[in-house]
Structure 1
Amino acid sequence: MHPFTFLLPLVPLITALPAPFAAPPNIPTTSAAQTQLSGLRVAPQGSQTGYSRDLFPHWTTQSGACNTREVVLARDGTNVVRDSSCAAVSGRWYSAFDGATWSAASDVDIDHMVPLSNAWKSGAASWTTSRRQQFANDLTNPQLIAVTDNVNQEKGDKGPEAWKPPLASYHCTYSKMWIKVKSVYGLSVTSAEKSALQGMLNTC
């Protein structure tokens, strides 16, 4: 072996970070989210009685053959290729909740930031079906995001007092999104929920 072999410079292995992925729209600044959080009505959760996901018509047609799910998959992914029925057949999706990257749309769920059941118990029970449909398909506010399917299922209908994204570095953004949606739709928060949101906002 050549005596100078060990003097050759070593090239460090660099793990590439995910390329920038699209974020849901209209995430407020920290100061705006703080103002919105202070303005939310604090109240106990209402009853689950009468709730059904069917009362929130979701994944409605947005354009041509594309429904809300397919629009969000295209928005949140990179190099997304869709077939004639608008189904995503290839692409890459970075899940901000847990930091995982997926190459199959079947591994990705579209999360309702404020779950439909939570909305029902915090004000949506009195809404019209049209208003609930708007909420369930909202592409204007940060209510929909593509994430790892089993992480979304783990979240279920839990509020931030009971569940937070595994990736702690996302807690700031998560709280701002949740606060924005509740503020836009005039939904109430419980005291425990508000406390959890404030704690997450404090990490910003």
Structure 2
Amino acid sequence: MAGTRTGVAAGIALFALTLTACDLPATAGKDSNAPLPSDSSAQLASLKIGAAGPMTGYSRDRFGGGWITQPDGCDTRADVLKAQGTGVQSKGCTVTSGKWLSLYDGQNVTSPHDLDIDHLVPEAEAWRTGAAQWTQDQRVAFANDLDELVAVTAHSNRSKGDQPPPGYMPAVRTEWCDYATHWIKVKAKYKLTISQSERDALTRMLGTCH
């Protein structure tokens, strides 16, 4: 997963890319801009069902070599930690403390060193469902999109793998609603396809929002 990526300098121009998707505000993790379940149900219904493509040609490098520099001068990891934590303290771009709720296992974390920044929709899953046809710049933008990134415990990240629901669903049922709404938001934003079993699992997970 993405927790071991290091910051690299990159042009801010990447954020002006025209993506092959609808244009949504950049948000991340459990924030006030997360879609409501009714919005997610509509987004889910709009997603195209299709067979997953092959992994031919896939590599992590197809999504860039590391975190890019965001417009505020900090790298993507730092911005995710700042956006998703509460009481976050930092020295420049180095986040030193705060409190985060790990989406995958519901654990409270107070040290940024215990967190990975993960791609909610794995890059491999994106590749199989549409990203193989994107330009390199579009894939790099996807890999650094705050809608797509979550701060989670390292151990939960590394046990996740690269499968969509139901191949992977958070072990803690109380996290299903947030996981499903954000998964659907990313897939809708980038017009990635889903399988029927994925749609069924997401529908079940959305049922926990009520």
Which TM-score applies when normalising by structure 1? 0.82
RMSD across aligned positions (CA): 1.7
Quick one: which amino acid aligns to residue 194 of structure 1?
A: R
Q: Give the total of aligned pairs.
A: 180
Matched residues in 1 for 2:45 and 2:110: separation? 40
Instruction: Show the counterpart of 2:156.
Output: 151
Which residue of 2 is the match for residue 56 of structure 1? 63
Asked if 1:44 corresponds to 2:51, the answer is: yes
| Distance 1:47-1:24 versus aligned 2 partners, 3 A rule | farther
Alignment partners' CA distance in 1, 2:108 and 2:163: 24
Following the alignment from structure 1 to structure 2, what is the Cα–Cα distance between the partners of residues 129 and 182?
18
**Aligned-pair CA distance for 1:111:** 1.8
Higher relative contact order (CA 8 A, sep 6+): 2
Instruction: Tell me the equivalent position of 1:120.
Output: 127
Runs of at least 4 residues of structure 1 off by over 4 A?
Answer: none
TM-score by length of 2: 0.80
Q: Answer whether contact 1:94 1:147 (CA < 8 A) is retained.
A: yes
One-letter code of the match for 1:201? L
| Aligned: 1:98 with 2:78 | no
- Counterpart contact for 1:55–1:129, Cα < 8 Å: yes
Contact 1:24 1:144 in 2 (8 A): no
**1: CA distance, partners of 2:179 / 2:49:** 19
Does the aligned pair in 1 maintain the 2:106–2:175 contact within 8 Å? Answer: no
Q: Do 1:24 and 1:145's aligned partners in 2 also have CA atoms closer than 8 Å?
A: no
Give the residue type in structure 1 aligned to 2:208.
Answer: T
Q: Which of the two has higher C-alpha Rg?
A: 1
- Equivalent in 162, 183, 200 of residue 195 of structure 1: 200
Cα-to-partner distance string for 1:87-132 (whole Å, 9 max, x where unaligned): 2222222213222122221210112111111000000000011111
- CA spacing shift, 1:64–1:186, aligned 2, 3 Å: closer
Residue number in structure 2 paired with 1:68: 76
Instruction: Kindly provide the CA deviation profile for residues 18-63 of structure 1, in whole angstroms up to 9, marking residues without a partner as x.
Output: xxxx724642111111111111111111111111111112421014
Q: Which runs of 5+ in 1 are unaligned?
A: 1-21
